[in-house]
Copies of this chain bind each other. A is one copy, B any other.
Amino acid sequence: VEIRSQGPVEAARKGAKAVLIRSVTNFAFRQPHTGATRYVDDVRKIPAAAIPPEDVMMLARMQARKMPVKLRLVLGAKTLPDRQSANAIGELRGREKPEEVVVIGCHIDSWDVGDGSTDDGSGCIMAMEAARMLKAAKLVPRRTIRVVLFTNEENGLRGGQAYAEAHAEEVHAAAIESDSGSGAPWGLGVVASEEQVAALRVYAPLFDPLGAGAIHVGHGGADISPLTRRGVLSLSVRPDGSHYFDLHHSPADTVDKISPAHLQHNSAAMALMAYILAEREEITTIATEKEGDDHR
């Protein structure tokens, strides 16, 4: 992903007229995959695009045969003026310490080439469904569980930043983001030390029936990364990701690719971890040099 986001700046520094990359995907079906590109003020902004892997392979074959390759780029992308958007928030109020919060979240925006079901519609369903499951089971934990559907992850992370700023005074016991699609359940990543993760791993047997028992040192999430940087214990729902980048940011990211069963089990894993973190006695604070994941 860095090749896409940082490529134009690096290439412009070396005198390139434009950047064309192989789409960030591990599966080719002649679809281009879009995504954010970053420019910086003191470097010339050059055109940048991603093309399907098949076309990249063709260009590479032509080049290997010393055939002349001449490209004409016709790009339609535009940066439109900013518009107001909003995070969507709902809560299960805690029974003893309602002022202490466990965030469960996702991002509600998506690239509009598909419908964004995998990135990150499925994460939003999980967060909402996790709260619904707890409510349906009449489980009211000690602390508040707050569902946050963050806006603008793909294009600036301003939903995550605005949330962290607006709620800076609150005690966040933990934050769990789901932004890795809804493949078969596997586990949860935790931004924490080995010892802190081991303390959570004692709960793994509860997750095993869901297939989500792999509680491991790993990533948080882009939207919760401002919380992570403030020392909030950050986790991510991590399903099997083998096919995540097949769909990621492509026209093929549509709802038919979502397995309802996987979605349900991942939701349950999120609900269970949120409940544990909202219920257990102590609050874990992480070393602030740790950072969240950001695979835009």
Contacts and interface: CB of A to CB of B under 8 A. Distances in A.
Interface in A244-264: 250-252, 254-256
A30 interface: yes
A114 B30 contact: yes
Contacts of A256: 28, 53-54, 57
* Copies of this chain per assembly: 2
Contacts of A225: none
Interface string A29-50: 1110000000000000000000
Contacts of A28: 252, 256
Chief secondary structure at chain A's binding surface? loop
B114 A251 contact: no
Contact of A254 (B30, B114, B254): B30
Contacts of A251: 30
A57 B54 CA distance: 27
Max chain B C-beta neighbours (<10 A), residue from A31, A58, A254: A254
Contacts of A254: 30, 54, 57-58
Max chain B C-beta neighbours (<10 A), residue from A28, A29, A53, A58: A29
A217 B171 CA distance: 74
Nearest to A253: B30
Nearest to A247: B29
Contacts of A58: 254-255
Contacts of A53: 256
A176 to B, nearest CB: 30
Contacts of A54: 252, 254, 256
A114 B252 CA distance: 18
Nearest to A115: B58
Contacts of A30: 31, 114, 250-252, 254
Nearest to A57: B256
Nearest to A53: B256
Interface in A205-264: 250-252, 254-256
Interface in A55-102: 57-58
A25 to B, nearest CB: 11
A30 B247 CA distance: 10
A53 B254 CA distance: 11
A250 B256 CA distance: 20
14 contacts: A28-B256, A29-B29, A29-B31, A29-B252, A30-B31, A30-B114, A30-B251, A30-B252, A31-B31, A54-B252, A54-B254, A54-B256, A57-B254, A57-B255
Given A57-B254, A57-B256, 4 more contacts: A30-B114, A30-B252, A30-B254, A58-B255
